[in-house]
Amino acid sequence: MNTSGSGEIVQFDNVGLRYGTEREVLSDVSFTLYPGSFYFLTGASGAGKTSLLKLLYLSQRPSRGGIRIFGTDAITMPREKLPALRRRLGVVFQEFRLVSHLSAFDNVALPLRVAGFAESEIAKPVADMLEWVGLADRMAARPATLSGGEQQRVAIARAVIGRPQLLVADEPTGNVDPDMAVKLLRLFEALNRLGTTVVVATHDVHLLKKVPDSLIMRLDKGRLSDPTGALKYPPRRSGAGPAGNPS
């Protein structure tokens, strides 16, 4: 594995993960994620996709092996440094995890407020982002009044409002119809064209063909394979997306 620090977003080196005394759910997992690339992480239910994503977004530490994120050793990093590193990540959870008593606008604004942005700096970027995901007319709505697809789009907007360097999405299309699934993928593609590295976990093999330039990493019983050469540096993609987001 290349550890020269030449711009890799993430490096896993022979990572293993087990919960308690159970058998490993991930074994000898090694890969590199490069800037500006779009990855699908696929595999059957129970293959270990969610466990791998938890390692990626720093909610879980491995049982063995090495992980570097943004050039930082995620294993030995002091816990007090985790919040700053996590602000460079965007996470779309399978179950949305929206704050039920907050409007769509306030859910999306939450990461900016936590990061210390003034209210005068928040209104336009949040409005632009909600317009970008097609929810300009639902800004005041609370999660309970939104459809599953609308909740997922709010969750995506919240995950990307800070323009993360790495976006991790766990089965983001699992609760929406096929047409909405394609629309959500187009949102991820637009963010990717801005330079964000995107990792989408899915068991839906039909989605893999919807992003032609994507790379595929496949998990099978906790072991990773690389059918599209995802360990090789792909060309960086460029383009445009929503305007006015804080950098």
d(C-alpha 245, C-alpha 247), whole Å: 6
CA neighbor of 187 nearest in space, from 218, 219, 149, 216: 149
Task: Return the domain boundaries, the chain.
Answer: 93-158
pLDDT at position 57 is 92
pTM of the model: 0.84
pLDDT at position 161 is 92
C-alpha dist (Å) from residue 13 to 1, 18, 56: 7, 16, 13
How many CA atoms lie less than 13 Å away from 8 in the CB half-sphere? 22
Q: Which two tokens stand for residue 145?
A: 């009044």
Query: How many residues are given for the chain?
Result: 247
Cα-based angle 159, 164, 167 (whole degrees, multiple of 5): 65
pLDDT at position 230 is 59
pLDDT at position 229 is 63
Give 13's strand partners. 66
3 state SS for 204-245: CHHHHHHCCCCEEEEEECCEEECCCCCCCCCCCCCCCCCCCC
Mean pLDDT by 10 residues, the chain (247 residues): 56 93 92 91 89 93 94 90 88 91 97 91 95 93 93 92 92 80 86 92 85 88 76 48 43
d(C-alpha 87, C-alpha 163), whole Å: 9
